[in-house]
Amino acid sequence: QVQLVESGGGLVQPGGSLRLSCAASGRIFTISKMAWYRQAPGKQRELVADITSGGSTTYADSVKGRFTISKDKAKDTVYLQMNSLNAADTAVYYCYAEGVLATTGAGDYWGQGTQVTVSS
């Protein structure tokens, strides 16, 4: 069974930084794309950034220049380095793995979410 386990959320002051991690566990062969989404209270879930197996990245306009997504393919782990955080970044951040091929079959998976709160 494939699972995504996130870590690194928490409370940070405006202007601060956090690094989120998401590790995919299970007997995985390949993952086509990994991504971070976020959902603020009362708002829809939105894409923050994604990275393909080839290393191509996409960012939401609101985080360009402040957030960096990266991955460790050998560990099936994706990271989100978040700098210059502001109150608008407060949300639950979810890891997403698309096109996962594992011994249990193929599918897409979500993590459980990790809270990021930016406040003084």
- The phi, psi pair for 92, rounded to 5°, reads -90, 125
pLDDT of residue 15: 98
Q: Tens place of pLDDT for every residue, the chain, 120 residues?
A: 899 999 999 999 999 999 999 999 999 989 999 999 999 999 999 999 999 999 999 999 999 999 999 999 888 999 999 999 999 999 999 999 999 999 988 899 999 999 999 999
pLDDT of residue 73: 87
* 3 state SS for 32-97: EEEEEEEECCCCCCEEEEEEECCCCEEECCCCCCCEEEEEEHHHCEEEEEECCCCHHHCEEEEEEE
Q: Which two structure tokens, joined as six digits, stand for 19?
A: 């690094």
- The phi, psi pair for 17, rounded to 5°, reads -130, 150
